[in-house]
Protein backbone atom coordinates (compact mmCIF):
# COMPACT_ATOMS: atom_id res chain seq x y z
CA UNK A 1 0.00 0.00 0.00
CA UNK A 2 1.30 3.45 -0.93
CA UNK A 3 2.31 5.68 1.95
CA UNK A 4 1.38 9.34 2.34
CA UNK A 5 4.47 11.40 3.25
CA UNK A 6 4.17 15.03 4.26
CA UNK A 7 7.37 16.87 3.33
CA UNK A 8 8.57 20.29 4.49
CA UNK A 9 11.84 22.19 4.70
CA UNK A 10 13.31 24.98 6.82
CA UNK A 11 16.97 25.75 6.20
CA UNK A 12 19.06 28.54 7.66
CA UNK A 13 22.43 28.66 9.42
CA UNK A 14 22.24 31.64 11.76
CA UNK A 15 25.28 33.67 12.81
CA UNK A 16 24.10 35.51 15.92
CA UNK A 17 27.24 37.66 16.26
CA UNK A 18 26.82 39.58 12.99
CA UNK A 19 24.91 42.83 12.84
CA UNK A 20 22.40 42.08 10.11
CA UNK A 21 18.94 40.68 10.72
CA UNK A 22 17.52 38.08 8.34
CA UNK A 23 14.03 38.95 7.15
CA UNK A 24 11.28 37.22 5.23
CA UNK A 25 12.56 38.81 2.02
CA UNK A 26 15.86 36.94 2.39
CA UNK A 27 14.14 33.53 2.18
CA UNK A 28 13.19 31.62 -0.91
CA UNK A 29 9.84 29.94 -0.36
CA UNK A 30 8.37 27.02 -2.26
CA UNK A 31 4.80 26.26 -1.24
CA UNK A 32 2.72 23.21 -2.07
CA UNK A 33 3.21 21.66 -5.48
CA UNK A 34 6.01 24.10 -6.40
CA UNK A 35 8.22 21.95 -4.16
CA UNK A 36 7.82 19.10 -6.62
CA UNK A 37 9.85 21.05 -9.19
CA UNK A 38 12.92 20.17 -7.11
CA UNK A 39 12.51 16.43 -7.74
CA UNK A 40 15.80 15.06 -9.03
CA UNK A 41 17.81 18.26 -8.53
CA UNK A 42 20.98 18.47 -6.45
CA UNK A 43 19.37 19.52 -3.17
CA UNK A 44 18.41 17.24 -0.25
CA UNK A 45 14.77 17.98 -1.06
CA UNK A 46 15.39 16.86 -4.63
CA UNK A 47 16.89 13.62 -3.39
CA UNK A 48 14.07 12.66 -1.04
CA UNK A 49 11.42 13.55 -3.64
CA UNK A 50 13.10 11.32 -6.20
CA UNK A 51 13.40 8.46 -3.69
CA UNK A 52 9.76 8.83 -2.68
CA UNK A 53 8.65 8.58 -6.28
CA UNK A 54 10.56 5.33 -6.69
CA UNK A 55 8.90 3.98 -3.54
CA UNK A 56 5.48 4.93 -4.92
CA UNK A 57 4.91 7.12 -1.89
CA UNK A 58 2.31 9.84 -2.27
CA UNK A 59 3.95 13.20 -1.59
CA UNK A 60 2.05 15.78 0.44
CA UNK A 61 4.17 18.90 -0.13
CA UNK A 62 3.78 21.55 2.57
CA UNK A 63 6.45 24.21 2.11
CA UNK A 64 10.19 24.71 1.87
CA UNK A 65 12.07 27.85 2.98
CA UNK A 66 15.79 28.46 2.51
CA UNK A 67 18.14 31.41 2.98
CA UNK A 68 21.87 31.99 2.73
CA UNK A 69 23.64 31.95 6.12
CA UNK A 70 23.27 35.33 7.82
CA UNK A 71 22.21 37.05 11.03
CA UNK A 72 19.45 36.34 13.54
CA UNK A 73 16.12 35.66 11.84
CA UNK A 74 13.02 37.75 12.40
CA UNK A 75 10.32 35.94 14.37
CA UNK A 76 7.80 36.56 11.60
CA UNK A 77 9.71 34.15 9.34
CA UNK A 78 9.04 31.31 11.78
CA UNK A 79 5.44 32.35 12.37
CA UNK A 80 4.63 32.67 8.67
CA UNK A 81 6.31 29.32 7.99
CA UNK A 82 4.35 27.74 10.81
CA UNK A 83 1.02 29.21 9.72
CA UNK A 84 1.52 27.83 6.23
CA UNK A 85 2.61 24.43 7.54
CA UNK A 86 -0.34 24.25 9.91
CA UNK A 87 -2.75 25.14 7.07
CA UNK A 88 -1.30 22.31 4.98
CA UNK A 89 -1.22 19.75 7.77
CA UNK A 90 -2.83 16.46 6.76
CA UNK A 91 -3.72 14.27 9.75
CA UNK A 92 -4.02 11.29 7.42
CA UNK A 93 -0.33 11.29 6.50
CA UNK A 94 1.65 8.19 7.40
CA UNK A 95 4.85 10.06 8.22
CA UNK A 96 6.63 13.41 8.01
CA UNK A 97 9.97 14.09 6.35
CA UNK A 98 11.76 17.35 7.18
CA UNK A 99 14.72 18.97 5.42
CA UNK A 100 16.39 21.08 8.11
CA UNK A 101 19.63 22.85 8.85
CA UNK A 102 19.71 22.55 12.62
CA UNK A 103 21.34 25.88 13.51
CA UNK A 104 18.52 28.36 12.88
CA UNK A 105 17.96 31.08 15.48
CA UNK A 106 15.08 33.55 15.64
CA UNK A 107 14.81 36.61 17.88
CA UNK A 108 12.63 34.80 20.43
CA UNK A 109 13.60 31.19 19.65
CA UNK A 110 17.24 30.08 19.99
CA UNK A 111 16.25 26.55 18.93
CA UNK A 112 13.98 27.00 15.92
CA UNK A 113 14.08 23.37 14.81
CA UNK A 114 13.21 22.13 18.29
CA UNK A 115 10.36 24.65 18.45
CA UNK A 116 8.98 23.56 15.08
CA UNK A 117 9.10 19.89 16.03
CA UNK A 118 7.39 20.61 19.35
CA UNK A 119 4.62 22.50 17.58
CA UNK A 120 4.14 19.72 15.04
CA UNK A 121 3.50 17.24 17.84
CA UNK A 122 0.55 19.38 19.01
CA UNK A 123 -1.30 19.14 15.69
CA UNK A 124 -4.30 16.78 15.37
CA UNK A 125 -3.14 13.13 15.38
CA UNK A 126 0.51 14.20 15.05
CA UNK A 127 1.72 12.99 18.44
CA UNK A 128 2.47 9.48 17.23
CA UNK A 129 3.44 10.17 13.62
CA UNK A 130 6.96 9.11 12.67
CA UNK A 131 9.12 12.16 11.96
CA UNK A 132 12.19 11.50 9.85
CA UNK A 133 14.49 13.94 8.11
CA UNK A 134 17.94 15.22 7.27
CA UNK A 135 20.07 18.05 8.67
CA UNK A 136 23.42 19.79 8.23
CA UNK A 137 26.55 18.48 9.97
CA UNK A 138 26.96 21.96 11.49
CA UNK A 139 23.71 21.86 13.45
CA UNK A 140 23.53 22.73 17.12
CA UNK A 141 21.44 19.70 18.01
CA UNK A 142 19.04 20.30 20.91
CA UNK A 143 17.20 18.05 23.37
CA UNK A 144 13.97 19.30 21.80
CA UNK A 145 15.02 18.00 18.41
CA UNK A 146 15.87 14.61 19.87
CA UNK A 147 12.68 14.45 21.94
CA UNK A 148 10.21 15.33 19.20
CA UNK A 149 11.79 13.59 16.18
CA UNK A 150 12.33 9.89 15.58
CA UNK A 151 15.13 9.87 13.02
CA UNK A 152 17.06 12.92 11.84
CA UNK A 153 20.12 12.00 9.80
CA UNK A 154 23.21 14.25 9.59
CA UNK A 155 25.47 14.88 6.64
CA UNK A 156 28.67 12.88 7.07
CA UNK A 157 31.07 14.93 4.98
CA UNK A 158 32.58 18.39 5.23
CA UNK A 159 32.77 19.76 2.55
CA UNK A 160 29.10 18.79 2.36
CA UNK A 161 29.25 16.74 -0.82
CA UNK A 162 26.78 14.21 0.60
CA UNK A 163 23.81 16.45 1.48
CA UNK A 164 21.53 14.92 -1.14
CA UNK A 165 22.88 11.44 -0.38
CA UNK A 166 22.14 11.96 3.32
CA UNK A 167 18.53 12.88 2.57
CA UNK A 168 18.17 9.69 0.57
CA UNK A 169 19.77 7.74 3.42
CA UNK A 170 17.18 9.17 5.81
CA UNK A 171 14.40 8.27 3.38
CA UNK A 172 15.71 4.70 3.23
CA UNK A 173 15.44 4.52 7.01
CA UNK A 174 11.85 5.70 6.73
CA UNK A 175 11.25 2.84 4.29
CA UNK A 176 12.85 0.51 6.84
CA UNK A 177 10.37 1.80 9.42
CA UNK A 178 7.45 0.94 7.16
CA UNK A 179 8.85 -2.49 6.30
CA UNK A 180 9.85 -3.52 9.83
CA UNK A 181 7.13 -1.81 11.84
CA UNK A 182 9.83 -0.50 14.16
CA UNK A 183 10.20 3.16 15.13
CA UNK A 184 13.65 4.18 16.35
CA UNK A 185 14.30 6.94 18.84
CA UNK A 186 17.07 9.50 19.05
CA UNK A 187 19.52 9.34 21.96
CA UNK A 188 21.41 12.62 22.30
CA UNK A 189 24.76 13.27 23.92
CA UNK A 190 25.82 16.94 24.02
CA UNK A 191 29.54 17.47 24.58
CA UNK A 192 31.39 20.33 26.32
CA UNK A 193 33.20 21.10 23.07
CA UNK A 194 32.91 23.94 20.54
CA UNK A 195 35.01 23.80 17.37
CA UNK A 196 35.37 26.53 14.75
CA UNK A 197 34.31 25.51 11.23
CA UNK A 198 37.98 25.28 10.20
CA UNK A 199 38.40 22.43 12.71
CA UNK A 200 35.56 20.30 11.36
CA UNK A 201 36.81 18.98 8.00
CA UNK A 202 35.93 15.29 7.78
CA UNK A 203 39.14 14.45 5.90
CA UNK A 204 41.07 15.40 9.04
CA UNK A 205 40.87 14.65 12.75
CA UNK A 206 38.93 15.06 14.94
CA UNK A 207 35.96 14.58 12.59
CA UNK A 208 37.69 11.93 10.49
CA UNK A 209 38.30 9.67 13.49
CA UNK A 210 34.82 10.26 14.92
CA UNK A 211 33.04 9.56 11.63
CA UNK A 212 35.09 6.42 11.06
CA UNK A 213 34.29 5.01 14.49
CA UNK A 214 30.62 5.95 14.18
CA UNK A 215 30.32 3.94 10.97
CA UNK A 216 31.91 0.94 12.72
CA UNK A 217 29.40 1.18 15.56
CA UNK A 218 26.35 1.28 13.29
CA UNK A 219 24.32 -1.81 12.50
CA UNK A 220 21.69 -3.97 14.11
CA UNK A 221 19.65 -1.90 16.55
CA UNK A 222 21.74 1.18 15.75
CA UNK A 223 20.10 2.45 12.57
CA UNK A 224 22.46 5.42 12.31
CA UNK A 225 24.93 7.39 14.43
CA UNK A 226 25.41 11.10 13.83
CA UNK A 227 28.55 13.10 14.55
CA UNK A 228 27.36 16.69 14.69
CA UNK A 229 30.14 19.27 14.55
CA UNK A 230 27.99 22.19 15.70
CA UNK A 231 28.03 25.80 14.51
CA UNK A 232 30.24 27.94 16.73
CA UNK A 233 28.84 31.30 15.64
CA UNK A 234 25.35 30.77 17.07
CA UNK A 235 25.19 31.89 20.68
CA UNK A 236 22.63 29.41 22.05
CA UNK A 237 22.41 26.98 25.00
CA UNK A 238 22.90 24.08 22.56
CA UNK A 239 25.87 25.38 20.60
CA UNK A 240 28.60 22.79 20.21
CA UNK A 241 29.51 19.26 19.25
CA UNK A 242 26.98 16.49 19.85
CA UNK A 243 26.32 12.84 19.12
CA UNK A 244 23.04 11.12 18.35
CA UNK A 245 22.25 7.44 18.09
CA UNK A 246 19.13 6.53 16.10
CA UNK A 247 18.28 3.20 17.59
CA UNK A 248 15.70 0.76 18.92
CA UNK A 249 17.90 -0.16 21.89
CA UNK A 250 20.14 1.51 24.45
CA UNK A 251 23.18 3.10 22.77
CA UNK A 252 24.88 4.44 25.90
CA UNK A 253 28.03 2.38 25.42
CA UNK A 254 28.54 3.60 21.86
CA UNK A 255 27.91 7.20 22.87
CA UNK A 256 30.32 6.84 25.80
CA UNK A 257 33.05 5.63 23.48
CA UNK A 258 32.51 8.41 20.95
CA UNK A 259 32.39 11.03 23.69
CA UNK A 260 35.74 9.81 25.06
CA UNK A 261 37.25 9.99 21.58
CA UNK A 262 35.92 13.51 20.99
CA UNK A 263 37.31 14.75 24.31
CA UNK A 264 40.65 13.12 23.55
CA UNK A 265 40.78 15.02 20.24
CA UNK A 266 39.24 18.22 21.59
CA UNK A 267 42.32 20.39 21.09
CA UNK A 268 42.93 19.06 17.57
CA UNK A 269 39.74 20.74 16.39
CA UNK A 270 40.50 24.04 18.12
CA UNK A 271 42.18 25.66 15.12
CA UNK A 272 43.60 29.19 15.18
CA UNK A 273 44.78 30.62 11.87
CA UNK A 274 47.96 32.72 11.39
CA UNK A 275 47.59 36.42 10.53
CA UNK A 276 47.50 37.11 6.81
CA UNK A 277 50.67 39.25 6.96
CA UNK A 278 52.66 36.31 8.33
CA UNK A 279 52.13 34.31 5.13
CA UNK A 280 52.55 37.13 2.60
CA UNK A 281 56.31 36.51 2.19
CA UNK A 282 55.43 33.03 0.92
CA UNK A 283 52.57 34.36 -1.22
CA UNK A 284 55.01 36.74 -2.91
CA UNK A 285 57.14 33.82 -4.09
CA UNK A 286 56.19 32.62 -7.54
CA UNK A 287 55.14 28.97 -7.81
CA UNK A 288 53.95 26.83 -10.67
CA UNK A 289 50.19 26.74 -10.15
CA UNK A 290 47.39 28.36 -8.20
CA UNK A 291 47.80 29.58 -4.64
CA UNK A 292 44.56 29.72 -2.64
CA UNK A 293 44.40 32.26 0.15
CA UNK A 294 41.58 31.06 2.42
CA UNK A 295 39.86 33.76 4.49
CA UNK A 296 37.58 31.99 7.01
CA UNK A 297 37.01 35.20 8.98
CA UNK A 298 34.80 36.31 6.08
CA UNK A 299 33.27 32.87 5.50
CA UNK A 300 30.15 33.48 3.41
CA UNK A 301 28.94 29.95 4.13
CA UNK A 302 29.09 30.80 7.83
CA UNK A 303 27.08 34.00 7.67
CA UNK A 304 29.81 36.60 7.07
CA UNK A 305 29.06 39.47 4.65
CA UNK A 306 31.57 38.42 2.02
CA UNK A 307 32.94 41.97 1.69
CA UNK A 308 35.69 42.10 4.31
CA UNK A 309 38.89 43.65 3.03
CA UNK A 310 41.66 41.88 4.97
CA UNK A 311 43.00 39.70 2.16
CA UNK A 312 42.19 42.33 -0.47
CA UNK A 313 44.36 44.85 1.38
CA UNK A 314 47.22 42.33 1.60
CA UNK A 315 47.11 41.65 -2.15
CA UNK A 316 47.12 45.38 -2.93
CA UNK A 317 49.87 46.16 -0.41
CA UNK A 318 52.16 43.44 -1.78
CA UNK A 319 51.30 44.06 -5.45
CA UNK A 320 50.22 40.48 -6.14
CA UNK A 321 49.47 40.44 -9.87
CA UNK A 322 47.31 37.88 -11.66
CA UNK A 323 45.30 37.52 -8.48
CA UNK A 324 41.55 37.59 -7.85
CA UNK A 325 39.06 38.16 -5.07
CA UNK A 326 35.27 38.20 -4.97
CA UNK A 327 33.45 40.82 -2.89
CA UNK A 328 29.74 40.99 -2.25
CA UNK A 329 29.25 44.72 -2.86
CA UNK A 330 25.93 45.66 -4.50
CA UNK A 331 26.65 49.33 -3.89
CA UNK A 332 29.80 49.15 -6.02
CA UNK A 333 27.95 47.22 -8.73
CA UNK A 334 25.34 49.96 -8.90
CA UNK A 335 28.04 52.64 -9.06
CA UNK A 336 29.46 50.92 -12.13
CA UNK A 337 26.12 50.58 -13.91
CA UNK A 338 26.58 53.68 -16.07
CA UNK A 339 30.21 53.04 -16.95
CA UNK A 340 31.24 51.68 -20.36
CA UNK A 341 33.51 48.65 -20.57
CA UNK A 342 37.08 49.85 -20.36
CA UNK A 343 36.07 52.91 -18.37
CA UNK A 344 37.73 53.79 -15.07
CA UNK A 345 36.28 54.82 -11.73
CA UNK A 346 37.51 55.25 -8.18
CA UNK A 347 35.39 53.10 -5.85
CA UNK A 348 35.17 52.44 -2.13
CA UNK A 349 35.19 48.63 -2.22
CA UNK A 350 33.98 46.25 0.48
CA UNK A 351 34.15 46.88 4.21
CA UNK A 352 30.47 47.74 4.54
CA UNK A 353 29.02 44.60 6.11
CA UNK A 354 30.93 44.00 9.34
CA UNK A 355 32.00 46.20 12.25
CA UNK A 356 35.08 43.99 12.61
CA UNK A 357 36.49 45.02 9.22
CA UNK A 358 38.70 48.08 8.65
CA UNK A 359 36.11 49.56 6.29
CA UNK A 360 36.01 50.22 2.54
CA UNK A 361 39.22 50.26 0.51
CA UNK A 362 39.32 53.00 -2.12
CA UNK A 363 40.75 51.78 -5.42
CA UNK A 364 40.93 53.04 -8.98
CA UNK A 365 39.48 50.28 -11.16
CA UNK A 366 38.80 49.49 -14.80
CA UNK A 367 35.48 47.90 -15.72
CA UNK A 368 36.04 44.61 -17.58
CA UNK A 369 32.52 43.20 -17.81
CA UNK A 370 29.00 43.08 -16.36
CA UNK A 371 26.53 40.21 -16.13
CA UNK A 372 23.24 39.09 -14.59
CA UNK A 373 25.18 36.74 -12.31
CA UNK A 374 23.13 33.58 -12.77
CA UNK A 375 25.16 30.44 -13.40
CA UNK A 376 24.74 26.68 -13.48
CA UNK A 377 26.66 24.78 -10.84
CA UNK A 378 29.42 22.58 -12.19
CA UNK A 379 29.43 20.38 -9.08
CA UNK A 380 25.93 19.12 -8.35
CA UNK A 381 27.18 17.55 -5.09
CA UNK A 382 28.58 20.71 -3.53
CA UNK A 383 27.23 22.38 -0.41
CA UNK A 384 26.07 25.22 -2.63
CA UNK A 385 23.98 22.69 -4.56
CA UNK A 386 22.49 21.46 -1.30
CA UNK A 387 21.28 24.98 -0.62
CA UNK A 388 20.08 26.08 -4.05
CA UNK A 389 19.78 23.12 -6.43
CA UNK A 390 21.35 23.30 -9.89
CA UNK A 391 21.61 27.08 -10.38
CA UNK A 392 22.71 30.06 -8.33
CA UNK A 393 21.99 33.76 -8.76
CA UNK A 394 24.81 36.09 -7.73
CA UNK A 395 22.66 39.09 -8.68
CA UNK A 396 23.99 41.77 -10.98
CA UNK A 397 27.76 41.43 -11.20
CA UNK A 398 30.71 43.49 -12.39
CA UNK A 399 34.29 42.42 -13.01
CA UNK A 400 36.92 45.11 -12.48
CA UNK A 401 40.72 45.22 -12.46
CA UNK A 402 43.20 47.12 -10.35
CA UNK A 403 46.98 46.89 -10.85
CA UNK A 404 46.88 43.38 -12.28
CA UNK A 405 44.31 42.14 -9.76
CA UNK A 406 40.80 41.08 -10.76
CA UNK A 407 37.84 41.77 -8.47
CA UNK A 408 34.46 40.12 -9.01
CA UNK A 409 31.71 42.23 -7.46
CA UNK A 410 28.37 40.55 -6.75
CA UNK A 411 24.99 41.75 -5.52
CA UNK A 412 24.10 38.57 -3.65
CA UNK A 413 26.35 36.73 -1.22
CA UNK A 414 27.77 33.73 -3.05
CA UNK A 415 29.52 30.99 -1.11
CA UNK A 416 32.68 30.03 -3.08
CA UNK A 417 31.88 26.36 -3.46
CA UNK A 418 31.68 26.09 -7.25
CA UNK A 419 34.15 27.16 -9.95
CA UNK A 420 31.23 28.06 -12.20
CA UNK A 421 31.13 31.30 -10.23
CA UNK A 422 34.33 32.41 -12.00
CA UNK A 423 33.94 30.64 -15.31
CA UNK A 424 30.52 32.20 -15.81
CA UNK A 425 32.36 35.55 -15.78
CA UNK A 426 34.84 34.48 -18.43
CA UNK A 427 37.64 33.68 -16.01
CA UNK A 428 39.58 30.46 -15.53
CA UNK A 429 40.64 30.25 -11.87
CA UNK A 430 43.29 27.60 -12.52
CA UNK A 431 45.35 30.12 -14.54
CA UNK A 432 45.55 32.65 -11.71
CA UNK A 433 48.55 33.20 -9.49
CA UNK A 434 46.53 33.76 -6.28
CA UNK A 435 42.82 33.62 -5.52
CA UNK A 436 41.11 34.60 -2.27
CA UNK A 437 38.42 32.19 -1.07
CA UNK A 438 36.05 33.39 1.66
CA UNK A 439 35.30 30.03 3.25
CA UNK A 440 36.46 27.63 5.95
CA UNK A 441 36.36 24.08 4.57
CA UNK A 442 33.48 23.71 2.10
CA UNK A 443 35.44 25.24 -0.81
CA UNK A 444 37.91 22.35 -0.89
CA UNK A 445 35.87 20.04 -3.10
CA UNK A 446 35.99 22.64 -5.88
CA UNK A 447 39.40 24.22 -5.35
CA UNK A 448 41.70 21.44 -4.14
CA UNK A 449 41.92 19.76 -7.58
CA UNK A 450 43.31 22.97 -9.16
CA UNK A 451 45.40 24.17 -6.20
CA UNK A 452 49.20 24.00 -5.96
CA UNK A 453 49.26 25.31 -2.40
CA UNK A 454 46.83 26.78 0.11
CA UNK A 455 47.13 29.10 3.11
CA UNK A 456 44.35 29.61 5.66
CA UNK A 457 44.78 32.97 7.35
CA UNK A 458 43.20 35.18 9.98
CA UNK A 459 41.87 38.62 9.07
CA UNK A 460 39.41 41.01 10.74
CA UNK A 461 35.96 39.50 10.30
CA UNK A 462 33.00 37.88 12.06
CA UNK A 463 33.96 34.24 11.47
CA UNK A 464 37.42 34.13 12.99
CA UNK A 465 38.53 30.68 14.09
CA UNK A 466 39.71 32.20 17.37
CA UNK A 467 36.51 31.59 19.31
CA UNK A 468 37.79 33.47 22.35
CA UNK A 469 36.87 36.64 20.49
CA UNK A 470 33.19 35.82 20.88
CA UNK A 471 33.18 35.46 24.65
CA UNK A 472 30.95 37.98 26.36
pLDDT digit string (tens) for 154-177?
999 999 999 999 999 999 999 999
Sign of CA dihedral 244, 249, 251, 252: positive
Tell me the pLDDT tens digit for each residue of 195-209. Answer: 999 999 999 999 999
pLDDT at 389: 82
Domain boundary among 269, 288, 314: 269
Cα atoms found within 13 Å of the Cα of residue 93, Cβ hemisphere only: 26
Domain boundary among 249, 269, 289: 269
3-state secondary structure of 112: helix
Tell me the pLDDT tens digit for each residue of 26-63. Answer: 999 999 999 999 998 889 999 999 999 999 999 999 99
Which secondary structure element, helix H or strand E, spans residue 102, and what is its range? none
Tell me the pLDDT tens digit for each residue of 182-191. Answer: 999 999 999 9
CA dist 422 and 320 (Å) reads 19
Same domain, 217 and 289: no
Same domain, 234 and 300: no
Same domain, 150 and 184: yes
Same domain, 215 and 127: yes
Same domain, 60 and 200: yes
CA dist 45 and 51 (Å) reads 10
3-state secondary structure of 425: coil
Same domain, 265 and 381: no
pLDDT at 291: 98
Instruction: Please compute the mean of the pLDDT values over residues 387-411 and round it to a whole number.
Output: 94
Same domain, 62 and 174: yes
**Domain extent for 451:** 276-470
Domain boundary among 269, 299, 325: 269
For the cut 70, the answer to whether the pLDDT of residue 1 exceeds it is no
pLDDT at 380: 83
Q: How confident is the model at residue 286 (pLDDT cuts 50, 70, 90)?
A: confident
Give me the DSSP letters along 389-425. Answer: -SEEE--SEEEEEETTEEEEEESS---S--THHHHTT
Q: How confident is the model at residue 110 (pLDDT cuts 50, 70, 90)?
A: very high
- Of 248, 231, 251, the closest CA to residue 100 belongs to 231
Same domain, 207 and 317: no
3-state secondary structure of 74: coil
Which secondary structure element, helix H or strand E, spans residue 47, and what is its range? helix 44-54
Tell me the pLDDT tens digit for each residue of 74-94. Answer: 999 999 999 999 999 999 999
pTM of the model: 0.94
Q: For a pLDDT cut of 70, what percent of the chain falls above it?
A: 99
pLDDT at 386: 76
DSSP type of residue 276: H
Q: How confident is the model at residue 332 (pLDDT cuts 50, 70, 90)?
A: very high
Same domain, 327 and 265: no
Amino acid sequence: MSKNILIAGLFHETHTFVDDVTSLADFQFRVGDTMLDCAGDASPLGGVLEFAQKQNWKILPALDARATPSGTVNDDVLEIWWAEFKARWDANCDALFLVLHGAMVCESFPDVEGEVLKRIRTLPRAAGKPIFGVYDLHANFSPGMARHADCLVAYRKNPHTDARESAVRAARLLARHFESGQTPKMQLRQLPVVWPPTGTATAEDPMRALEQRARELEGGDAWAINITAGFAFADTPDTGVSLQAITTADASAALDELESLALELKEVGARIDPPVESVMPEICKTVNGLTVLVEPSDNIGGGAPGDCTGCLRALVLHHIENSAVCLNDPEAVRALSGLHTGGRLTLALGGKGSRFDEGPLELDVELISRSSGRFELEDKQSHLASMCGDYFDMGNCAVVQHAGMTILLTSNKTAPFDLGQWRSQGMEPATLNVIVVKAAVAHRAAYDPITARSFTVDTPGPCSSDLKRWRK
